[in-house]
Amino acid sequence: MAGADGDDSLYPIAVLIDELRNEDVQLRLNSIKKLSTIALALGVERTRTELLPFLTDTIYDEDEVLLALAEQLGNFTMLVGGPEYVHCLLPPLESLATVEETVVRDKAVESLRKISQEHSPVDLEVHFEPLVKRLASGDWFTSRTSACGLFSVCYPRVSSTVKAEIRQHFRTLCSDDTPMVRRAAASKLGEFAKVLELEYVKSDIISLFTALASDEQDSVRLLAVEACVSIATLLPQEDLETLVMPTLRQAAEDKSWRVRYMVADKFSELQKAVGPEITKNDLVPAFQNLLKDCEAEVRAAAANKVKEFCENLPEDNREQIIMTHILPCVKELVSDTNQHVKSALASVIMGLSTILGKDNTIEHLLPLFLAQLKDECPEVRLNIISNLDCVNEVIGIRQLSQSLLPAIVELAEDAKWRVRLAIIEYMPLLAGQLGVEFFDEKLNTLCMAWLIDHVYAIREAATCNLMKLVEKFGAEWAQNTIVPKVLGMANDPNYLHRMTTLFCINALSKACGQEITTKQMLPVVLKMSNDQVANVRFNVAKSLQKIGPILDSNALQTEVKPVLEKLASDTDMDVKYFAQEAISGKLSYHWVLKPFNRLSYI
């Protein structure tokens, strides 16, 4: 390759463009993804004068290719010669910002936003802002939706006349004929408000906000709720009541559940944005209504916010508000007809105990926890159990243990294996909080029973659980309570249970340490190398490889090696394979000590 040092005659643009035009979409896509390589080979000048015009002209392609192109162009500034020339990238991105496919358009807008920062203020006015205007007045809705995302990036850096124009364009788009554009504008309203001067927030944004929040389509109205958060943050407290609250109150009682859902979903943000006074007077009743909404979706969204809402209440009368206004609603939700509502509540309700303190928790919350622990829906019970730590700090878990145990036992035996799996995952946490005695007495049997579950995922999780328990309670505990039971399973008639012994050993050996591993576990593993079932034998090989690092070299040489060599000449192909794997694996581990042995296995 004579001129590979970069002589551009080696890569005539035609050849490269051919690659970008390849008939096969996949190849075309590959080429586009490496567009920077092509641009680099062409040099900045030809990239500007030849490659970019080509790209601009041929924007009719598969969306996948266009998406890659839109992304590439956002990182192209250096390849066209730096910020001075960055505006060359605008024409292709402008076309991309008008295509139908949302993903492509959004990516083009993202790239445009990125390169807008690389424009000098002059270039921004000369090149970028006219593009935004063109998009904003485009015929088809796609270009107008794209424009919505570009106002806020140029507004802060242009002159005041241009600023006035931009505000005018944004206003127009907020009352666009098509709901798609109004949605785009509504979703950018908050972002745009943030870059505006306060006087224009009050004069322009508020009227747009009010209009969008009472749009005929609920999909537009609900986006205005999002904007409400940003707008309320920008305004001084004294203006909130007149400028924002009428609209927010109306949204909280909107006839469409989607809008009410949005209010519930953004409740914590709204609460922070409007401050403690308005929260007390307006948001508390609004929140009560949302918790009692007729639509389960809304109730669930509100239930999710209970803890956060209470946490953020003004401290001076937080307890009183919770006790008189919120708690009665919460009590009703505990016996809601919809399980999503109950389980949303169960995932946060425990958090209230830290806010309300010991006495209130025992008197008011504990009955609710207990009721939820007995709920018919397993997800509710699980959510309570998974958050036990909050209560533990306040009243100690013992208060609950009476009800906790039946709930755990029931979940542990649930017919759905995913439920069993979920409760297993909380075992180490529970064990930590309940203490070793309680655990040994009540839960140990469950943990052992999972080892012979008929679903593999449960057996696997059960082994992992044992490992975490040993890490918690120590090797001595392991030796006394679980190791004998695990090793006993090695003689089980069911080969799956015998394999579980091996899996447990794999998991436990490290936590149990060299002593237990060598003295108690290793003999069992070695004995199992004579198992009739090949699956057990090759798992022996795997186990030996696993526990090898924990054993001392004497045990390795005298006990492990002969067994592995025997397995390496097994009649079963898989056993042979894994034995050989183990041998080479282990010996390479000890290679530093016995460099010569290794040669015989190469």
Partner 1 sequence: LSSSSLLLHHHHHPWSPIMETTKSMRRARQRRSHSSSQFRYQSSQVELTPLPLLKDAPVAELHDLFCKKLQQCCVLFDFLDCVADLKGKEIKRAALNELVESVATSRGVLIEPLYPEAIKMISVNIFRTLPPSENPEFDPEEDEPTLEASWPHLQLVYEFFLRFLESPDFQPSMAKRYVDQKFVLQLLELFDSEDPREREYLKTILHRVYGKLLGLRAYIRKQINNIFLRFIYETEHFNGVAELLEILGSIINGFALPLKSEHKQFLVRVLIPLHTAKSLSIFHAQLAYCVVQFMEKDATVTEYIIRGLLKYWPKTCTQKEVMFLGEIEEILDVIEPSQFMRIQEPLFKQIAACISSPHFQVAERALYFWNNEYILSLIEENCQVILPLVFATLYRVSKEHWNQTIVSLIYNVLKTFMEMNSKLFDDLTASYKVEKQKELKRERERAELWRGLEEYQERRMQMLTEAARNQRNLQERGERGDTLNPSSPQTAHSDQPEPKPSGASSGAGESAT
Contact footprint for partner 1 (CB under 8 A) = 1, 4-8, 10-11, 15, 19, 23, 27, 34, 36-38, 40-46, 62, 78, 81-84, 100-102, 140-141, 178-180, 183, 216, 218-219, 255-258, 294-297
Shortest distance, position 52 Cβ to partner 1, whole Å: 14
Instruction: Report which of 174, 171, 172 is spatially closest to residue 182, judged by C-alpha positions.
Output: 174
Residue 483's Cβ-side half-sphere holds a number of Cα atoms within 13 Å equal to 24
Q: Which is nearer to partner 1, 104 or 350 (CB)?
A: 104
Cα Rg, the chain, nearest whole Å: 34
Least distance CB 86 / partner 1 (angstroms): 11
d(Cα 87, Cα 80) in Å, to the nearest integer? 9
CA 124 to mean position of chain CA atoms: 37
Instruction: Kindly tell me which of 15 and 126 has the beta carbon lying closer to partner 1.
Output: 15
- For residue 141, which of 108, 97, 110 has the smallest C-alpha distance? 97
Q: How far is the CB of 332 from partner 1 (least distance, A)?
A: 17
As a three-state string, the secondary structure of 254-304 is CCCHHHHHHHHHCHHHHHHHHHHHHHHHHHHHHHHHHHCCCCHHHHHHHHH
**Residue among 101 and 425 whose Cβ is closer to partner 1:** 101
Closer of 257 and 309 to partner 1 (Cβ): 257
Structure-token pair, residue 185: 């504008």
* Beta carbons of 434 and 399 less than 8 angstroms apart: no
Question: Residue 127 or 182: which CB sits closer to partner 1?
Answer: 182
169 with 151: CB under 8 angstroms? yes
State which residue, 37 or 281, has the beta carbon closest to partner 1.
37
Nearer to partner 1, 19 or 559 (CB): 19
Report which of 80, 81, 115 is spatially closest to residue 96, judged by C-alpha positions.
115
Whether 464 and 426 have beta carbons less than 8 Å apart is answered as: no
CB of residue 226 vs partner 1: minimum separation in angstroms? 16
Q: In angstroms, give the least distance from the CB of 329 to partner 1.
A: 17
Closest CB to partner 1 among residues 42, 469: 42
The residues, ordered by sequence, that sit 6+ positions from 464 with a Cβ below 8 Å of its Cβ are: 507
Q: Which string of DSSP letters, residue by residue, matches 426-455?
A: HHHHHHHHH-HHHIIIIIHHHHHHGGG-SS
Q: Could you tell me the smallest distance in angstroms from the CB atom of residue 69 to partner 1?
A: 16
Residues 6+ apart with CB under 8 A from 450: 412, 420, 424, 458, 459, 461, 462, 465
For partner 1, give the closer residue by CB, 4 or 602: 4
CA-based nearest residue to 263, from 315, 304, 321, 234: 304
Question: Cα–Cα distance between 107 and 76 in angstroms, integer?
Answer: 14
Shortest Å, Cβ 139 to partner 1: 10
Selection from 479, 487, 482 nearest residue 465 by Cα: 482
**C-alpha span between 104 and 74 (Å, rounded):** 13
Name the minimum Å distance from CB 78 to partner 1.
Answer: 6
Shortest distance, position 146 Cβ to partner 1, whole Å: 12
Cβ distance to partner 1 smaller for residue 106 or 414 = 106
Ramachandran angles phi, psi of 146, nearest 5°: -65, -40
Q: How far apart are CA 38 and CA 30, in angstroms?
A: 12
Q: Which is nearer to partner 1, 24 or 552 (CB)?
A: 24
**Nearer to partner 1 among residue 296 and residue 496 (C-beta):** 296
Q: Nearest distance from residue 578's CB to partner 1, in Å? A: 33
Q: How far is the CB of 294 from partner 1 (least distance, A)?
A: 4
The tokens for 356 are 């309300």
The minimum distance between CB 385 and partner 1, in angstroms, equals 25
What are 177's two structure tokens?
A: 């004929």
How would you label 24-37 residue by residue, b for 16+ Cβ within 10 Å and e otherwise?
Answer: eeeebbebbeebee
Residue (of 30, 29, 36) closest to 52 by Cα position: 36
Name the minimum Å distance from CB 184 to partner 1.
10
Task: Report the distance separating Cα 537 and Cα 517, nearest Å.
Answer: 19
Q: Which residue, 256 or 584, has its beta carbon nearer to partner 1? A: 256
